[in-house]
Structure 1
């Protein structure tokens, strides 16, 4: 079994520390499992390993044919908004009737920008944005179909933005085929528009999909290529071009950190930090919310590198109100809670996760790392705090199997 786990891990480009961390264990534990020095008897840990390795059948790990029926949960969460989005994306009609009023690309882009602002400002961002996306997808597709010249180019940029937002809003609730279709359409629309900034933003989105599906090397390749596209223009580029370039650097930093590559992680974070310093204090990239608040990502890098003490020390100095995104604030608190868990302080982790939920309920409810923290607290919180942990677990929708 250990040899099979190691082969699966290496085939996905994952370090021991990353895979072990996804199971809330240390790399030494995984090393003993892989070497055969320790027997893995916990069914719960087997399920966690299988989910982290994107294996849907336990027999692939155990080698026991009788485990074929033991299907591993895919990790996809249910959301009522997904069916209409699936219909808009996956049943795109080949023929679209001529609209009564010619599409206005500027108006379309305005609706997309407003939807991005809603994503970053609402406590229930996933539900509210998912309700808007089906019409946005259809209207953007129609605009590209019936416009030409510069108007079509602008519509393609808006279409790319729509699909990027779709990818963000359906993360962890969409099946893999929908996630890949959405990421590909975002990049294709941006390339057809021949807009470097839109291409880079679509690459940032694709990098997220690749990283979350255990393809870190491919994610880094996409991010590096997009950075190379933007870099020659940085001195004279508009602020949003520099903003997406900085976001790409932070994306690479987190990707490296999750793989345990500390030097590369901080090298990329430094690049992102330098870009942030070159932008106005009030600047915020409209979709990635890249700006001066790069310390938020610094906490994530420390946490993913399992440097809990440094992550928590830095978090103590951060004012969450400087981040103009409710979603990112909630994610910061989740990272802080992860840091407390790494130190074994479940009392502090529970208090912080309650703040995270109050800040962005749906960010916690639909983000796997947040759900893992809540599930851990539900099972292992100090006796006196178990009622509070159980209440939070119920709000988040964490079951015993999750």
Structure 2
């Protein structure tokens, strides 16, 4: 982002609080919004901006920089502040205050064994499973999961280094899950280099464990990153190879092995749809549909949430990506969203429906649906580019009578309205 004109020159007269206020206002952020992104209240930020309180916490300084999309801390503190010298903040397409701690855990991986004993693989996997559940059930999943990830990453790495044999393979599976979860929680907020490191480590750990289901899950994660960075053909190759790897093991395999296989089919369906390849998109969606029918009615894969409801949700996504808005909205009308246990996935469904309404030019319906999505999953909407794009479109072009509501939505999503 651009630096405000008043900060573009080396003005040593400006204090930290004055710099913060100028940066915040230039981003169109209110005090409550910026303070909330740092896990603090608006009074805390007001006292810093007015000079009543000094900003002495380096972690909080990093969180403010990430939230304001400032890569150089000296822009906030002034060039004469020693703590700010040569300090850069890693930034993704969006910002989240938890990113610096996750960056540190991933990018400063220790090669020296820790003094404490390694985590028990079963206990480690239990913590990972619990964190996945938090990801799918919390309305502030990035913040809550992001707070747990640094310790999980370090404990997983330590277990893999310290254990051997079957215990080490189980730890590798848990570590692969940890890095997959990291990829989900930092999507769009992680710098490109971290996103690729995380995806590669998830796949490498799964391959070291020699466990087909873990390899397939890590490939599903890598496919997401490839697709979102405009490499659709590479994404398809990865998920198709993973599906071919796990396919021979499906007979008699645990339900979750078929669950991840089904998730790979839906991944391919959406990738084809975004490329405008309608026949291929629906062909792969039907493969996922058949897998869902072969599983118990209430089955849900723990991380991808593949199951009957997710197959139906993906039908809406495929239709929307193919610009078949009437079909997408009709499909959504037949869905009971409450059968989906994932808050994150329910919010994304309504974003897809809002996109469909926008394709038809119905901004009133799109605004109503986006308000629902934001209430269901605040951080899902705030940190998903497609959702932010819909909110920005509504803010710019909502009917006159609905502009106050569209502006309020834009503020909640974190889009500047000033």
Taking structure 1 as the reference length, the TM-score comes to 0.80
Q: Which position in structure 2 is the counterpart of 1:188?
A: 204
Partner of 1:371: 388
Deviation at 1:399, TM superposition (A): 2.3
Q: Distance in 2 between matches of 1:161 and 1:319?
A: 29
Aligned partners of 1:400 and 1:342: how far apart in 2?
A: 23
Match for residue 19 of structure 2?
none
User: How many Å apart are 1:96 and its aligned residue?
Assistant: 2.5
Q: Distance in 2 between matches of 1:353 and 1:81?
A: 25
Question: Deviation of residue 236 (structure 1)?
Answer: 1.7
* Alpha-carbon distance in 2 for matches of 1:133, 1:322: 28
Contact 2:172 2:205 in 1 (8 A): yes
In the TM superposition, structure 1's runs of 4+ consecutive aligned residues that sit over 2 Å from their partners are: none
CA distance in 2, matches of 1:102, 1:88: 17
Mapping of residues 295-374 of structure 1, within 5 Å: 295-374=312-391
Is the Cα contact below 8 Å between 1:246 and 1:290 reproduced in 2?
Answer: yes
Structure 1 CA distance for aligned equivalents of residues 300 and 395 of structure 2: 37
Tell me the equivalent position of 2:226: 210
Question: SS where residue 253 of structure 1 aligns?
Answer: helix
CA contact (8 A) 2:92 2:191 kept: no
Maintained 8 Å contact 2:177/2:202: yes
**Aligned equivalents of 2:210, 2:110: Cα separation in 1:** 25
Contact 2:226-2:235 at 8 Å conserved across structures? yes
CA distance in 2, matches of 1:373, 1:96: 48
Query: For the structure 1 residues 246 and 221, does the alpha-carbon distance in structure 2 shift closer, same or farther, using more than 3 Å as the test?
Result: same
Structure 1 residues 153 and 75, CA, compared in 2 at 3 Å: closer, same or farther? closer
Once the two structures are TM-superposed, the CA of residue 332 in structure 1 deviates from its matched residue by: 0.2
| CA shift for structure 1 position 292 | 1.1
Pairing 1:89–2:100 present? no
Gaps of 5+ in 1: 1-73
Structure 2 partner of 1:384? 401
| Equivalent residue number for residue 131 of structure 1 | 147
| CA deviation after TM superposition for structure 1 residue 203, in Å | 0.0
What's the CA shift for 1:285? 0.5
Distance in 2 separating the partners of 1:170 and 1:102:
26
Structure-2 separation of matches of 1:167 and 1:174: 9
Among candidates 183, 186, 201, match of residue 167 of structure 1: 183
Distance 1:155 1:227, change over 3 A: same
Q: Is the 8 A contact 2:355 2:390 kept in 1?
A: yes
Pair member with larger Rg: 2
Picking from 254, 276, 288, the partner of 2:270 is 254
Whole-angstrom CA distance in 2 between matches of 1:108 and 1:184:
21
What is the CA-CA distance between 1:217 and the residue it aligns to? 0.2
What SS class does the counterpart of residue 173 from structure 1 fall into?
Answer: coil
Distance in 1 (CA, whole Å) between partners of 2:118 and 2:205 is 20
Count of residues paired in the alignment: 327
How does 1:2-401 map onto structure 2 within 5 Å?
76-99=93-116, 101-293=117-309, 294-399=311-416
Asked whether the equivalents of residues 378 and 393 of structure 1 are also in contact (C-alpha less than 8 Å), the reply is: yes
Comparing 88-97 with 210-219, greater Cα deviation is found at: 88-97
**What is the alpha-carbon root mean square deviation over aligned residues?**
1.1
Structure 2: unaligned runs, 5 residues or longer: 1-90
